[in-house]
Amino acid sequence: MTDSTLRTVTLIDDLTGKSWKLPVRDGSMGPSVIDIRKLYTDTGYFTHDPGFTSTSSCESKITFIDGDKGVLLHRGYPIDQLAEKSDFLEVAYLLQFGDLPNTTQKTEWIKNITYHTMVHEQLRSFFNGFRRDAHPMAIMCGVVGALSAFYHDSTDIHDERQREIACHRLIAKMPTLAAAAFKYSTGQPFIYPRNDLSFAENFLHMCYAVPAEPHLVNPVLARAMEKIFILHADHEQNASTSTVRLASSSGANPFACIAAGITSLWGPAHGGANEAVLKMLIEIGSKDKIPEIIKRAKDKDDGFRLMGFGHRVYKNYDPRAKVMQQTCREVLSELGLRNDPLLETAMELERIALQDDYFIAKKLYPNVDFYSGIILRAMGFPMSMFTVLFAVARTAGWVAHWQEQFSEGEQKIGRPRQLYTGPTLRSFVPLEERGGKTDAEAFISEWQRRRSDTLTG
Ligand code: CMC
């Protein structure tokens, strides 16, 4: 970001008539920002922006989104070109280092990543502590955080080489842990990584091979997996990436920061949406139920939202959704599922929603998650694994942003302020003076409650 030498905006306090000039800074693309870092010192005011709808939290050179035009660029390259022409590890390199690798750099990078694909044998015992029906995202939150306890030689964030190794380890081990979480849920033995396979092939192999017989990964499915990983690799300052940056700002180690990102990603408004979309499509069942579901999505009192629709930044078609729709067709065709009823329902739902005044007025378009669930289900993944796959891919973006933070020079802990609306100063009141039941009265009423519960079953 370059400093605009003279440009300012003026803030006027209507009450006192005081005014302040606030500097404006321009990025290389996108909206300029008003630099308010000295606002509180100069004016005594904070800004108030829950959900950060108008707030830039950092300077970044990694990803650019123009939500109105539906544009997504990684280091300047359009996402559709990367999905078509690149591979996931190359994109991970691009995100991390700013340029596409040359052949020597690529070979070296792949070697660095594949060298770290195995996980410490003792980590396997962590899995046994989980119930077999545990959500794999719950397992991922635990085991990724646990990496901090295994790789002490890459937790010193002030050592550049250690940071680099931590990034290699995270990108490399995430598929191994994700596949293990999947295998654990099926009761099958874990499969070790194979470094002769590509990133996506290796992941599919670890998910679907069994030790009893050889397993060949379908190249069309491997390419689709690669594309899905690329499409999910980064998305600038989304909730999970911001979580990673905020966690890291306190000086926490990289594995703990990425575990924090995973927890944020899990929610249905973020990475959990692909699971929610599929549940919704299954619930809709047939095309004739679509008008009813659209009606519910528009009803303010219902609370239901059309999952896979809408985006905080995109007010146009999510460019990732376009690639995803095409990939969906390729996968279903390869698997002989051209007439998949879920795809038909999804396409009809999209068609009707895009013609509906409500969705047009609010600029709600399909997002990346609308079609991904259909592909992943056809590939054999249970719904609970969908967000895990998102986490495998997004790790590339998380570590790139995590590294970028260190290049910014001075590290400031992220510490937002608030608009306090609670009670003003008051004096402590001792318990005896606050009313309520005595101990004896509380015992009797609890005994009566339990007795009535027992009688009513
Ligand atoms: N269905 C129906 N109405 C919607 C939807 C939807 N999917 N999304 C937004 N709206 C309405 C919302 O009710 C609000 O209406 P009003 O102005 O009358 O109150 C208006 O559109 C703006 O919504 P918002 O909640 O203020 O927008 P936001 O930017 O805070 O939320 C979102 C963005 C993605 C959380 C939201 O669109 C949503 O919940 N979508 C469904 C979940 C989903 O698909 N999430 C995946 C996002 S893409 C993957 C990722 O980046 O993680």
Query: Per residue in 317-360, pLDDT tens?
Result: 899 999 999 999 899 999 998 888 888 898 899 999 999 999 99
Give the model's confidence band at 200: pLDDT under 50 very low, under 70 low, under 90 confident, else very high.
very high
Check if 238 has its Cβ closer than 6 Å to any atom of ligand 1. yes
Q: Is residue 162 within 8 Å of residue 253, measured between CB atoms?
A: no
Q: What is the pTM of this model?
A: 0.91
Q: Is 311 a catalytic residue?
A: yes
- Beta-carbon contacts of residue 74 (< 8 Å; ≥ 6 apart): 62, 63, 82, 91, 94, 95, 233, 234
Kindly report, residue by residue over 228-262, the tens digit of the pLDDT.
999 999 999 999 999 999 999 999 999 999 999 99
Closest CA to 35 of 50, 49, 45, 21: 21
Closest CA to 212 of 181, 193, 178, 189: 189
Q: Is residue 390 within 8 Å of residue 274, measured between CB atoms?
A: yes
Kindly report, residue by residue over 125-142, the tens digit of the pLDDT.
999 999 999 999 999 999
Helices (H) then strands (E): counts for the chain: 19, 6
Nearest CA owner, ligand 1 atom 25: 312
Give the model's confidence band at 2: pLDDT under 50 very low, under 70 low, under 90 confident, else very high.
very low
List 311, 318, 356, 401, catalytic entry: 311
Whole-number Å distance, alpha carbon 301 to ligand 1 midpoint, is 15
* Distances 307 to 173, 280, 356, 365, 440 between C-alpha atoms, Å: 30, 7, 16, 11, 51
Check if 142 has its Cβ closer than 6 Å to any atom of ligand 1. no
Check if 273 has its Cβ closer than 6 Å to any atom of ligand 1. yes
List 234, 340, 356, 369, catalytic entry: 369
Structure tokens of 321? 């959704």
Q: CB neighbours (10 Å) of residue 46?
A: 13
Q: Is residue 72 within 8 Å of residue 235, measured between CB atoms?
A: yes
The amino acid at 371: Y
pLDDT at 275: 87
Closest CA to 230 of 140, 137, 136, 324: 324
